[in-house]
């Protein structure tokens, strides 16, 4: 039988422990490295920070203008005064770190491989390896369905550390409130009914938590933690490592570094699903994660998607004669299949164009 071991790469944590040259599957190709500067550029201004409490309580015009400008310029921003206790944010980060530091055998109890070989999205492990020449990310991750609550598969939810499940449950409740506040503020900016965007998410709308672990990498000049991509769901709420940076956003051909999280803010970006719903008025920013030679990095992303059976298309109220629909209508589940294919072929940044009319 043909050797198919390439389908089941070692955990990045194991590779990092050996500190050898990363296997070729992880190395950027020559043409990708031409003129590439993985070090990234410093942002010309601080990350836009929105006072979410002020914005949602009083629709403060200054905060609303900041939000509009951030979405237009960058597609991402950070929120302060978001209502989540700092202790909760610290607990989720600590529980995530403890999970990734468990022995591999323990983490494999949450594996994303059925019978040790058949890939599914949910669980602990790597990306789906579809082809032998696919470039892999220097990160291990735990991917969990958090909502709808009935869709939780607890078999993949860690039992160590002991607080993990409760922490995630509580964190998800708070994040959901933050998501609602942001969607209402965005709807107002777009002159839609306040609940128009919130109402795109019915009781079947999925929320995924993705815990990312980026172990130190011996070749940060040749290896990416996560390939360039735009997030697929509508909105991402990101809890970032407070000590180690790594996230970069692409704007006008330049990759900009996002500094490590400070002051217990949360980083927000919109995704492809939102871009389509709002007819590209704001776009889902392309981003990637670079690696660090000495330090590990951890991040926790909450992704808010719409019901897989929901047809995603530009919201009718945003269309005018002079502003016709720019994206095709597509079921969310079909769009997801297209996105996963793009991502594994290193075309994660091009999916939005593929959806345009
Ligand atoms: C992601 C992602 C960014 C980060 O998980 O989709 O882009 O900072 N993560 O880890
Ligand atoms: Ni992302």
Using the mean position of ligand 1's atoms as its centre, give its distance from the Cα of residue 128 in Å: 17
Range of the domain at 49: 5-355
Inform me whether the pLDDT recorded for 1 exceeds 60: no
Average pLDDT, the chain: 92
pLDDT tens digit sequence for 219-274: 999 999 999 999 999 999 999 999 999 999 999 999 999 999 888 999 999 999 99
- Give CA–CA dist 159/357, Å, rounded: 46
Does the predicted TM-score (pTM) go above 0.75? yes
pLDDT tens digit sequence for 80-133: 999 999 999 999 999 999 999 999 999 999 888 888 778 888 999 988 777 878
- Give CA–CA dist 306/329, Å, rounded: 14
Is-cis flag, bond preceding 148, omega within 30?
A: yes
Is the minimum distance from the CB of 247 to ligand 1 under 6 angstroms?
yes
Using the mean position of ligand 1's atoms as its centre, give its distance from the Cα of residue 210 in Å: 8
Is the minimum distance from the CB of 210 to ligand 1 under 6 angstroms?
yes
- CATH of residue 245's domain is 2.60.120.330
Burial of residue 55, with CB atoms counted within 10 A of its CB: 0-12 exposed, 13-18 middle, 19 or more buried: buried
What is the sign of the dihedral through the CA atoms of 224, 284, 76 and 180? negative
Q: Put the strands of the sheet holding 247-251 in their side by side order.
A: 41-42, 254-257, 247-251, 287-290, 224-229
Inform me whether the pLDDT recorded for 20 exceeds 80: no
pLDDT tens digit sequence for 153-184: 999 999 999 999 999 999 999 999 999 999 99
Worst-scoring range by mean pLDDT, 72-76, 279-283, 334-338?
A: 334-338
Is the minimum distance from the CB of 212 to ligand 1 under 6 angstroms?
yes
Measured from the Cα of 301, ligand 1's closest atom is 5
Query: What is the 3-state secondary structure of 132-162?
Result: CCCCCCCCEEEEEEEECHHHCCHHHCCCCCC
The total of structural domains in the chain comes to 1
- Residues 330-336: contacts with CB under 8 Å, at least 24 apart: 330/276, 330/355, 332/273, 332/305, 332/306, 332/307, 332/308, 333/308, 333/309, 335/232, 335/272, 335/273, 335/276, 336/232, 336/308
Using the mean position of ligand 1's atoms as its centre, give its distance from the Cα of residue 301 in Å: 6
């Amino acid at each position: 039988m043909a050797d198919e071991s390439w389908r089941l790469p070692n955990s990045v944590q194991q590779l990092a422990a050996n500190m050898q040259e990363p296997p070729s599957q992880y190395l950027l190709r020559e043409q990708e490295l031409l003129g590439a500067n993985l070090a990234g550029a410093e942002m010309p201004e601080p990350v836009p920070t929105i006072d979410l409490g002020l914005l949602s309580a009083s629709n403060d015009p200054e905060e609303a203008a900041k939000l509009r400008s951030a979405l237009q310029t960058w597609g991402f921003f950070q929120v302060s005064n978001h209502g989540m206790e700092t202790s909760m944010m610290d607990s989720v980060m600590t529980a995530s770190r403890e999970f990734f530091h468990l022995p591999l055998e323990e983490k494999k109890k949450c594996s994303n491989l059925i019978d040790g070989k058949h890939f599914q999205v949910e669980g602990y492990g790597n990306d789906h390896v579809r082809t032998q020449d696919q470039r892999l990310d220097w990160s291990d991750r735990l991917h969990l369905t958090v909502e709808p609550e009935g869709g939780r598969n607890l078999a993949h939810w860690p039992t160590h550390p002991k607080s993990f499940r409760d922490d995630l449950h509580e964190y998800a409740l708070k994040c959901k409130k933050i998501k609602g506040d942001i969607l209402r503020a965005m709807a107002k900016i777009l002159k839609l009914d306040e609940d128009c965007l919130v109402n795109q998410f019915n009781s079947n709308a999925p929320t995924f938590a993705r815990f990312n672990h980026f172990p130190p990498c011996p070749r940060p000049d040749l290896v990416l933690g996560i390939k360039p991509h735009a997030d697929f769901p509508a909105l991402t709420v990101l809890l970032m490592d407070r000590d180690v940076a790594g996230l970069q956003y692409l704007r006008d051909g330049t990759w900009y570094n996002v500094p490590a999280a400070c002051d217990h803010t949360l980083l927000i970006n919109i995704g492809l699903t939102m871009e389509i719903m709002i007819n590209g008025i704001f776009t889902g920013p392309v981003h990637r994660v670079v690696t660090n030679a000495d330090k590990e990095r951890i991040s926790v992303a909450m992704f808010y998607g719409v019901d897989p059976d929901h047809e995603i298309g530009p919201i009718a109220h945003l269309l005018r004669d002079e502003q016709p629909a720019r994206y095709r209508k597509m079921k969310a589940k079909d769009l997801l299949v297209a996105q996963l294919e793009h991502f594994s072929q290193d075309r994660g940044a091009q999916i939005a164009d593929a959806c345009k009319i």
